[in-house]
Each structure stands twice: as C-alpha cells, then as structure tokens.
Amino acid sequence: MPGGFWQRAEREPGHVALVEPGGTEHTAGDLLERANQLVHGLRALGLETGDSIATVLPNSVESVEVYLAALQAGWFLTPINFHLAAPEIAYIVNDCEAKAFVTHARFAELVEAAAKEIDVPEATRFVVGGAVGGFRAYEEIGAGQPTSMPTERTAGMAMHYTSGTTGRPKGVKRTLTGLDPDTSAEMFAMFLALFGIGEEGDNVHLVVAPNYHTAVTMFGGSSLQLGHTVVQMDRWEPEETLRLIERYGVTHSHMVPTMFHRMLALPDDVKDRYDVSSMRWAVHAAAPCPVDVKRRMLEWWGPVIYEYYGATEGGGTLVTPEEWLAKPGTVGTPWPISQIQILGDAGEEVATGEIGTVYMRMDTGQFEYKDDPAKTEASRQGEFFTVGDMGYVDEDGSLFLVDRKSDMIIAGGVNIYPAEIEAELLAFPKVGDAAVFGVPDPDLGEQIKAVIEPAEDVAADDELRSEIMEFLRGRLGKYKWPRSIDFIEEMPRDPSGKLYKRRLRAPYWEDRERAI
C-alpha cells in the first residue's frame, strides 16, 4: 500500500524529497526523523491532539518539518503571512489558539513586536536561524528526542486564515477526521489526481509562492505525500523559474496569471535559453487569466496549462487545456465531488448565461469560520457557500467568472467588472501590470480608474495614456473605458502575485464610503 509521506519515507529513505531555496537537498529519511523528533518534543512540552501551531516561516526545510509533524500528531497548523503587521500576526496567533509558535530570525523585528501581544508561553516559542528575544532555538524542540515514529498518530490539518476582505481574517476550520495520517494523506493527495497528476514517473513540483498560501499546502503538501521531489523558491522571479524548471526537470507547479504575464514579458532570447519541455502541468488559479495571456502561454509551453476555480473554503471547477481552447475564458466544470450554483441577490437561481454570485458545495463536508457563526451563516445558501465571486454558466455547465462582487464598479447604475478591463489592458505590450477599480464620481456614483505599471523602459507619460486608450478602441465598449489613468512604479502584489487592490483604491476613497 503506497501510504502517505511517512510510510514512503520508511520504504525509500534515500529519496530526495525536498530541495530548499539555494539548492540544499534533504532526503525523505532525514525529514521523517526530524518531523518525528518534533512530535516527541512538542508533546513533551504539553501539546495534545487538537491543539494548534502557528508559524511565520519562509519556504524552508523547517516549514516542511513542522507541516509533517502537525499532520501526523493531530494538530492544526496555521502558517501566517509574514507581510502582515505585528498586531495582525498577534491577532491570528491568538485567534487560532496556538499552543506553539515557530518563526525565523529574518522576521525578528516583526515577531518581537507581535510577541508582546500573544498568549503563547515562552517555553513553546521557537526561532530558526538566529536569536529573537523571548524565543528558544528551534533545534531545542527535537534535541535528544527519539527519531522513531510517535505512538497514537492521528491526522492533523492546516487551518489557513482568509485574507480578510471585510473585517478581520478568519480561520477556515474543518473537523479533525481521526484517521490514520497515511490514510488521510492518500485521500488528501487525491486532489492532484483531478489534474491527472499521480505517483508515476519522477515527478518534481516547484513551489513558487510562500508557504502561508492554501495552494502551497494543497499542491506542495500533496506532492510530498505522493513521493514527488519538491523544489522551493524563496522569492518568485520569472527567469529563475525557467532556470529551476530546466535544472530539476520540474513536471508541475501551481502559479497565478501574473506570473504568466511576467514570464511572457521576458526577452525572447531569455525565454529561448531554457528548456521547459519537462513541464506537464502548469496549474493556475487565484484570479481570472486574461485570454490573450493564456493563449500565449499555451503557444510557448504547449497544452500543459490547467486552470481551476476554488478558495481556501473549498471548490470548485477545473478546465483542461483542450477544453479551454474550445471555450476560451471558462474556468471549467465542477469537480466530481463538487456542485455549482449561480444565485441572485435574493438567493434565487438565475437563468443560464445570467451573471450572479457563484456558490459551491463539496461532498467532503462543510467548514466553519472559526468562532464566527454569523460569518459562516452569511456565506451560505443551504449546503452551498460563496466567497463573493460573480460569474455565469453556459448551456453545457461551464463556469465563466467575471469578478469579485466587492470589486464590481457601479457607474450610473451599470455593473462593470474590472477583471475584463484589466485583461484588455494587459494585452497591450507597453503595459507591465494593471489594476482597475471604481473611484468617487459626483454624477455617476463611481467612475473607472486604471492604475498602470508601465512595461520595462516605457515612459509613464501622456503619450502612453493616449496609446492605451487608442488600444482599447474596438476591444471594449466605450462605457468600460477608464475615465482616468494613473501610473505607478511597482504594483503592490504579494510574492504569489496577489494584488493588494485595497491599497491602491483607499487613497481615492478617503473620507468617503464606497457604494458597495
């Protein structure tokens, strides 16, 4: 029986399971022993089944060790975004009721400030790679502990926090299953089978985003459980991605559309320098991918670009390269374990082709927002939940997304979806990045604002504004054209490519309340 990582590591201890940023390799056997020591050490410090561990860690061997320990000891693991402010980190540490907190010395100033407000005792605060006041050395957890498999093993799971689009972020919590960790891992890893990714061959997964993202846990963690080699990046860079794909023969990765756009923007001689023919699955999600960007990726990498729709709360749909080429723009049809509904504002199911709020249901069970029954209930219509995305389904049941409901612009009573405009702007070669949102308008309520990061060596001036507007002619109805264009040196995105649109929008709405 294949089992999960732990059984595989016992059978093939010499298998290279992890390549850290910088190239340090770790065998499955070494990872297993250190993860086992963590379980023994943390149990000796009082952690019990159902307790939580919070981490603020970069992609590293330690982040993987803590993951492997938590998932075989019945603990909840909450990886925290290290781009948050200290009070935000402290809030999540306390809200998840962490009994242990593991961080890295590179975040010393941040976590020292956060530590003043957290409830975790100093005995179970640990730091990797240096000293932080009030934290013990990470190595102390496993020092002198046995490397043998712990007893009373039971499946744990990750509890990620939502981005907090409205209000404070909340943990997406599911009930512990009580299953054997290896049995649970096999079920967990079946997610990759939706894309055709299995155990066969020498599969290599490239982690391009920080470990606090749900997708990193799903794809990186599942790859470890299936016996693949996992290669980590510390900071995403387009050319470095191509280099690593060639160097390690990467077969699959999880990316976001912004990464595609920035790789496509590399000079042709740079793109031609690297052999990416090992890639079989470039899976993307997180935001609608502009049709032009995806077509160009398919032309470059071949029919390996897969897309799915889902969220931390669950999913979802999937579309293969062939299906997408037949219906450009779709995010596919429901997974075998999922259902989709498009509902109107009153909760009624809308007609085929009509835009509404996307609701999903998974056969694997429900989640709750930790300690927030009101938010949990507000996200539901019966057994279906939503994360606020807008879309429609066609006559074949294929889902098309249009935007987040919270991003929708209402100008003169007309609903306008920024993602559609952003896709057209990104098709213009002189645009490096683009964001569109509504700003106050005394007559219309809102008007369309575009913020543009020019492509490399392109001047941000009135001439570029004119060229952009001329480019949109015939591509978008005039009512969708930006009323004004501002330029920015660099778009505020996190390392995975997620746009912090609120940061862009906020200055325009100071002392004003948004229409939605």
Residue 467 and residue 358 share a domain = no
Q: Which of 387, 407, 427 is the last residue of a domain?
A: 407
| Residue 437 lies inside a defined structural domain of this protein | yes
Amino acid occupying residue 120: V
* In-domain check, residue 276: no
pLDDT value at position 165?
Answer: 46
Please indicate, yes or no, whether residues 21 and 148 belong to a single structural domain of this protein. Answer: yes
The pLDDT of residue 311 is 86
Question: Are residue 495 and residue 356 in the same domain, yes or no?
Answer: no
Q: Give the C-alpha separation, 316 to 360, whole Å.
A: 7
| 439 shares its domain with 394 | no
Q: Do both 356 and 398 map to the same domain? A: yes
Residues 75 and 124 in one domain: yes
- 470 with 391, same domain: the answer is no
Total count of domains within the chain? 3
pLDDT digit string, tens, across residues 93-126: 999 999 999 999 999 999 999 999 999 999 999 9
Give the CATH number of the domain where residue 50 resides: 3.40.50.12780
Q: What is the pLDDT along the chain (516 residues), one digit of tens a residue?
A: 578 999 999 999 999 999 999 999 999 999 999 999 999 999 999 999 999 999 999 999 999 999 999 999 999 999 999 988 899 899 999 999 999 999 999 999 999 999 999 999 999 999 999 999 999 999 999 999 999 999 999 999 999 998 654 567 899 999 999 999 999 998 888 889 999 998 867 899 999 999 999 999 999 999 999 999 999 999 999 999 999 999 999 999 999 888 998 899 999 999 999 999 999 999 998 677 888 999 999 999 999 999 999 988 988 999 999 999 999 999 999 999 999 999 998 899 999 999 999 999 998 878 999 998 998 998 999 999 998 888 999 999 999 988 777 788 888 777 888 888 998 999 999 999 999 999 988 777 889 999 999 999 999 999 999 999 999 988 888 889 999 999 999 999 877 677 888 889 889 887 554 443
Q: Does residue 143 sit in the same domain as residue 185? A: yes
What amino acid is encoded at 395 in this protein?
Answer: E
Gyration radius from the chain CA atoms: 23
Find the CATH number of the domain harbouring 438. Answer: 3.30.300.30
Q: Give the phi and the psi of residue 41 in degrees, each rounded to 5.
A: -65, -45
Do 353 and 496 share a domain, yes or no?
A: no
Give one DSSP letter per residue of 457-501, joined into a string.
Answer: T---SHHHHHHHHHHHBTTB-GGGS-SEEEE-SS--B-TT--B-H
- Contact partners, residue 123, CB within 8 Å, separation at least 6: 45, 136
Indicate whether 397 and 457 sit together in one domain. Answer: no
Helices of type H across 127-200? 139-142, 181-193
Domain boundary among 375, 407, 439: 407
Assess if residue 308 is contained within a domain: no
Domain assignment present for residue 226? The answer is no
CATH at residue 346: 2.30.38.10
Cβ-proximal residues to 455 (8 Å cutoff; 6+ apart), any chain: 265, 429, 430, 431, 432
Domain boundaries, position 457: 418-509
Residue 167 pLDDT: 62
412 in any annotated domain: no
Q: Same domain for 183 and 82?
A: yes
Query: Shortest CA distance to 75 belongs to which of 103, 55, 105, 56?
Result: 55
In a domain, 225, yes or no: no
Helix and strand numbers, DSSP H then E, in the chain? 18, 28
Residue 344 C-beta-side C-alpha neighbours within 13 Å: 8
Q: Tokens 């009721």, residue?
A: 97
> Residue 274 falls within a domain, yes or no?
no
Domain boundary residue among 169, 193, 217? 193
The Cα–Cα gap between 452 and 468 comes to: 10
For the whole model, what pTM was predicted?
0.86
> Tokens standing for 206?
């490239």
Q: Write out pLDDT tens, residues 196-216.
A: 998 867 899 999 999 999 999
| Coil vs helix vs strand at 337 | coil
**In degrees, to the nearest 5, what angle opens at C-alpha 286 toward C-alphas 430 and 349?**
115
Q: Which two tokens stand for residue 159?
A: 């509890």
- Give CA–CA dist 99/56, Å, rounded: 14
**Same-domain status, 22 and 129:** yes
Alpha helices, H only, 144-237: 181-193, 214-215, 222-225
Q: Is residue 35 part of a domain?
A: yes
**Which pLDDT belongs to residue 141?**
98
Provide the sign of the torsion angle of the four alpha carbons 12, 13, 14, 20, taken in this order.
positive
CA distance 415 to 417: 7
